[in-house]
């Protein structure tokens, strides 16, 4: 065959191979391969490269490698074709081996390997290859930077991303659309919203990818209105709005509806539902109402905003339902605590021939957990052939949240027996159950399991460990975990502060809060609520006021939970008027806020004002709960408003549907006892559902002493000797009653009983706050200071004043 003829044949065969590549025509391609072999053209490097590309496109990796191995002369395109073949098939070890063997490399070689590593989620390895590329002197292209920036975003490695940004500026690629969008995406994933906005503004002509990334970034940081403004800008500038961008903005609507911001959540949900309806109208106007992916996005938006009526309408008019559609409906009803509807949809799904997937089961489990129907959730879980970690965690969380910690621990053990590896969520849930039961040994075993799976340094798990050890009264071990963490977030700091406060180490908790501020950590609502509780227990009004100032400075003054904690602090420190002043200024109140203020009046003997505030609460439409009635009944008791208290007690169940509990009965018994109405008190005790409570009898015994009712005092004391034999109070009170009545022999007998049973009276303490801080005094034969160093040089004071 002449060279000219051979050249024409080669070109002809190459063109035919290209057609096979484009159509993935494996049989025709193999026939062409046979023709090439018979014609003796297999030595042609160009044709062999096409054959490698053809087999790669048809996913015949072995055949591609055999062609590559038999090539007598390989050029850089041959190596690239084989490298690309391995990368597209995600055979990264083979790709790396081939990469090492390559006689020469160029920027395309490096890009191929880096992008393959990023696609396969080996982002750190991709960065390592990128650094090696730089060391060998290769200048990155726009494709290199785009892949590397994607890796930085996935790893939340903003420092590396900034370095790449600098490289892009240096080589003049920062204005490139491809690189610019990658920069925007990287900053968005790293939550550097200011940098993301600047990257967006630097784009010469932002496209739909730019706007979509910017919308996602704003929504991710809960700037939902900003995300909508971005969409309006996109629409207004004439950029094509396709089904993808509409799905993205619907995702913003869905995200806004599921945020949890206390009392503002309902408003946000309504606003996002309204925006979603507008996008729905635009979807119909642009003719996308038959797009299944977009319809599922609409379903998801309505479901997450709690508008299941609209979701039902969308679902009923779907061109075709998918498993995703059914899952969204199940998840939506689960979010609304309607387990029966969720189960109904799952049954209908199966009836129409759709097989439930992992998401279906997780949504069903979540529905059962939210509604407290753990038994049904467990039945669904037990039917799963191979539950995932998320499914295990959903059931474990249900047991833990409902207080059934024993079942949670049993299920965790079953998980281990079935060789399922716990993740960070599993460990945190089971640590919470160990803490709830005070099971120190079990908690230690979970700690050991976390060491085994290398989760001990995880912030989420560490917070659980700190909580578990604290609730088991092992603050030293909790502090050991805390101090051993390489990096701490605000949740860990909060857990340690709460742990100290739980163990009555409020001074130490306050000091740790000060250290947290010194480290530059920003306190959360939970941080402030906890440290205010410490101020309450320390009766330290000055420190509480300083924390109040810091709360105002940090913008948490309108938070309803922080506000409730502030009211509690002022009331317990005796400044009820200060508490009421703040209460009246609060823009939003919940039942906790009202309860704290009513209880504050009760604690400070201002019963009439407590009753007035209770009536104001009812008038405002706020529903009272059991705690409300404890507060107002206590106020009535302390202020002698016996008949008012009885009237409110009788109204609990009849008017408000609140079942009276032991605490409510105790308040009424205390009120009747203080007023000397012992016949009514005894009659009520005889009708009570539960009488074996020491506090009830101690309250009655105290009233008997005031009114000199010896016979009832003896009955109350005998009940207390039975229920709480080591408590010194009933012995002392009964002895004093006998002494006051001149019954010295009986008083002596009670004191001898104390000695025989080795019961000792606790000494009383008083606290006095002065310019040096809080000082504690003990009442003994002589008045003496027991802790004159308390808060003398409190770091917090210097921090606040500094």
What is the residue-wise DSSP string for 581-614? HHHHH-S---HHHHHHHHHHHHHTT-HHHHHHHH
Q: What is the mean pLDDT of residues 652-656?
A: 88
- CB 589, CB 553: distance < 8 Å: no
> With contact defined as beta carbons under 8 Å apart, do 416 and 450 qualify?
no
Q: What is the mean pLDDT of residues 565-589?
A: 91
pLDDT of residue 361: 84
**Mean of all residue pLDDT scores within the chain:** 84
pTM given for the model: 0.60
* Distance separating alpha carbons of residues 266 and 263, to the nearest angstrom: 7
Q: Is 307 exposed, middle or buried (0-12, 13-18, 19+ CB in 10 A)?
A: buried
Task: Say if residues 500 and 508 touch (Cβ distance below 8 Å).
Answer: yes
Asked if residue 567 lies in contact with residue 579, where contact means CB atoms within 8 angstroms, the answer is yes
Q: What is the rounded CA–CA span in Å between residue 576 and residue 521?
A: 32
Residue 774 pairs with which residues in a beta bridge? 769
Other CB atoms closer than 10 Å to residue 413's CB: what's the count?
Answer: 13
Residue position matching structure tokens 């917070």: 463
**CA atoms of 296 and 253, how far apart (whole Å):** 13
Q: What is the reported pLDDT for 271?
A: 59
Q: Under a CB-based contact definition with an 8 Å cutoff, are residues 179 and 149 in contact?
A: yes
Q: Which residue has the higher pLDDT, 602 or 230?
A: 602
Structure confidence by residue, pLDDT tens digits, 106-154: 898 999 999 999 988 889 999 999 999 998 889 999 999 999 999 999 8
pLDDT of residue 272: 63
Mean pLDDT of 606-633: 92
Contact 399, 374 (CB under 8 A): yes
pLDDT grade, residue 28 (50/70/90)? confident
Find out whether 503 and 475 touch, Cβ atoms under 8 Å: yes
Helix (H, G, I), strand (E, B) or coil at 768: strand
DSSP class of 75? -
Which residues have C-beta within 8 Å of that of residue 647, sequence separation ≥ 6?
none
| b/e per residue 277-299 (b: at least 16 CB within 10 A) | bebbeebeeeebbebeebbbbbb
Query: Which percentage of the chain shows pLDDT scores above 70?
Result: 91
Question: What does the DSSP 8-state code read for residue 319?
Answer: S
Q: Given this model, what pLDDT does residue 789 score?
A: 42
CB 275 within 8 A of CB 246: no
Per-residue pLDDT at 174 exceeds 80: yes
No. of helices (H) and no. of strands (E), the chain = 45, 3
Question: How many residues in total does the chain contain?
Answer: 802
Look at the block and give the residue holding tokens 């970690």. Answer: 389
347-366: average pLDDT: 87
Structure tokens at 178: 């491809």
pLDDT band of 788, cuts 50, 70, 90 = very low
Q: Is the pLDDT of residue 260 over 50?
A: no
Alpha helix ranges (H) inside 472-523: 475-483, 490-502, 506-518
pLDDT digits (tens, 9 = 90+) for 392-402: 888 898 888 88
For residue 665, count other CB atoms closer than 10 A to its CB. Answer: 21
Average pLDDT for 517-541? 90
Does 208 score more than 90 pLDDT? no
Q: 755 — phi, psi (to 5°)?
A: -65, -45
Place of tokens 């849930």: 429
pLDDT at position 792? 37
What's the mean pLDDT in 38-58? 84
Give the helix/strand (H/E) hosting 785: strand 783-787
pLDDT given for residue 765 in this prediction: 61
Spatial separation of the C-alpha atoms in residues 605 and 608, rounded to whole Å: 9
Predicted pLDDT of residue 498:
93
Tokens of 778: 């003990």
Local confidence band at 516 (pLDDT 50, 70, 90 cut-offs):
very high
Encoded tokens for 51? 């054959």
Cα(323)–Cα(732) distance, integer angstroms: 71
Helical axes 193-202 vs 177-189, angle rounded to 10°: 170
pLDDT value for 31 = 86
Lowest mean pLDDT segment, chosen from 19-33, 162-176, 596-610, 614-628: 19-33
Could you tell me if 542 and 767 are in contact, meaning their C-beta atoms sit under 8 angstroms apart?
no
φ, ψ of residue 103 in degrees (nearest 5)? -70, -30
Q: Which residues contact 230 (CB under 8 A, 6 or more apart)?
A: 211, 214, 215, 218
- Helical (H) or strand (E) element with 775: strand 773-779
pLDDT in the model for residue 727 = 75
Structure tokens at 191: 């939550």
Distance CA 405, CA 409 (A): 6
Range from 137-151, 449-463, 774-788 carrying the lowest mean pLDDT: 774-788
Give the torsion through C-alpha atoms of 780, 786, 791, 793, to 10 deg. 130
241: left (phi over 0), alpha (psi -120 to 50) or beta: beta
Enumerate the domain spans of the chain: 1-104, 211-320, 321-385
Average pLDDT over residues 77-91: 88
3-state secondary structure of 363: helix
Q: Structure tokens of 610?
A: 């407590």
């Amino acid at each position: 065959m002449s060279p000219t003829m051979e050249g024409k044949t080669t070109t002809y065969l190459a063109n035919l191979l290209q057609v096979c590549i484009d159509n993935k025509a494996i049989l025709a391609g193999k026939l062409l391969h046979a023709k090439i072999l018979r014609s003796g053209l297999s030595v042609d490097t160009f044709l062999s490269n096409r054959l490698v590309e053809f087999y790669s496109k048809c996913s015949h990796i072995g055949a591609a490698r055999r062609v590559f191995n038999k090539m007598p002369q390989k050029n850089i395109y041959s190596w690239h074709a084989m490298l690309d073949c391995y990368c597209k098939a995600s055979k990264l070890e083979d790709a790396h081996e081939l990469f090492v063997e390559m006689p020469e490399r160029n920027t395309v070689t490096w890009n191929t390997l880096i992008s393959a590593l990023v696609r396969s989620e080996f982002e750190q390895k991709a960065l390592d290859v990128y650094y090696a590329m730089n060391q060998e002197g290769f200048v990155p292209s726009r494709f290199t930077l785009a892949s590397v920036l994607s890796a930085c975003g996935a790893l939340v490695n903003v420092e590396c991303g900034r370095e790449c940004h600098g490289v892009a500026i240096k080589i003049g690629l920062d204005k490139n659309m491809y690189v610019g969008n990658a920069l925007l995406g990287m900053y968005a994933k790293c939550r550097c919203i200011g940098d993301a906005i600047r990257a967006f503004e630097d784009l010469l002509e932002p496209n739909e990818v730019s706007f979509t990334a910017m919308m996602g970034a704003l929504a991710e940081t809960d700037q939902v209105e900003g995300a909508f403004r971005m969409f309006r800008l996109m629409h207004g500038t004439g950029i094509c709005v396709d089904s993808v961008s509409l799905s993205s903005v619907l995702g913003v609507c869905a995200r806004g509806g599921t945020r949890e911001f206390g009392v503002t959540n309902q408003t946000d949900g309504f606003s996002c539902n309204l925006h979603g309806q507008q996008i729905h109208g635009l979807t119909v106007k642009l003719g996308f109402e038959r797009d299944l992916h977009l319809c599922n996005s609409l379903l998801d938006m309505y479901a997450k905003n709690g508008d299941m009526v609209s979701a039902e309408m969308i679902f009923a008019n779907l061109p075709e339902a998918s498993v995703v559609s059914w899952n969204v409906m199940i998840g939506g009803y689960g979010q609304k605590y309607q387990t029966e509807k969720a189960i109904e949809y799952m049954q209908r799904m199966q009836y129409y021939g759709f097989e439930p997937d992992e998401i279906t089961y997780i949504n069903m489990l979540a529905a059962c957990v939210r509604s407290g129907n753990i038994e049904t959730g467990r039945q669904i879980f037990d039917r799963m052939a191979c539950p995932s970690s998320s499914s295990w965690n959903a059931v474990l969380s249900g047991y833990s949240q409902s207080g059934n910690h024993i079942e949670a621990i049993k299920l965790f053990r079953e998980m281990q027996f079935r060789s399922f590896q716990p993740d960070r969520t599993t460990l945190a849930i089971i640590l919470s159950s160990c803490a709830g039961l005070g099971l120190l040994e079990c908690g230690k075993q979970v700690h050991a399991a976390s060491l085994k799976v290398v989760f001990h340094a995880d912030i989420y798990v560490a917070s659980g460990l700190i909580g578990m050890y604290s609730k088991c009264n092992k603050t030293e071990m909790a502090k050991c975990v805390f101090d051993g963490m390489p990096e701490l977030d605000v949740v860990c700091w909060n857990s340690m502060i709460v742990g100290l406060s739980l163990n009555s180490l409020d001074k130490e908790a306050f000091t740790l809060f000060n250290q947290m501020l010194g480290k530059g950590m920003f306190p959360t609502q939970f941080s402030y609520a906890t440290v205010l509780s410490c101020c309450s227990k320390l009766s330290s009004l000055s420190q509480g006021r300083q924390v109040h100032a810091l709360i105002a400075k940090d913008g948490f003054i309108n938070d309803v939970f922080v506000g409730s904690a502030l009211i509690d602090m002022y009331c317990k420190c005796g400044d009820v008027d200060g508490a009421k002043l703040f209460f009246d200024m609060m823009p939003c109140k919940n039942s906790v806020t009202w309860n704290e203020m009513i209880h504050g009046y009760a604690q400070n003997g201002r019963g009439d004002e407590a009753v007035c505030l209770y009536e104001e609460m009812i008038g405002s439409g706020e529903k009272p709960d059991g705690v409300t009635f404890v507060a107002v009944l206590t106020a009535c008791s302390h202020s002698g408003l016996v008949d008012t208290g009885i009237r409110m007690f009788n109204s609990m169940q009849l008017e408000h549907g609140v079942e009276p509990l032991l605490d409510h009965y105790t308040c009424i018994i205390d009120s009747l006892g203080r007023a000397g109405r012992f016949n009514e008190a005894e009659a009520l005790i005889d009708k009570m559902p539960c009488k074996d409570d020491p506090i009830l009898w101690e309250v009655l015994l105290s009233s008997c002493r005031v009114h000199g009712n010896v016979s009832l005092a003896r009955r109350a004391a005998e009940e207390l000797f039975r229920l709480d034999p080591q408590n010194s109070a009933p012995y002392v009170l009964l002895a004093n009653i006998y002494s006051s009545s001149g019954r010295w022999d009986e008083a002596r007998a009670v004191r001898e009983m104390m000695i025989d049973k080795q019961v000792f009276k606790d000494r009383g303490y008083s606290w006095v706050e002065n310019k040096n801080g809080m000082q504690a005094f003990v009442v003994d034969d002589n008045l003496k200071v027991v802790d004159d160093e308390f808060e003398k040089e409190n770091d917090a004071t210097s921090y606040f004043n500094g």
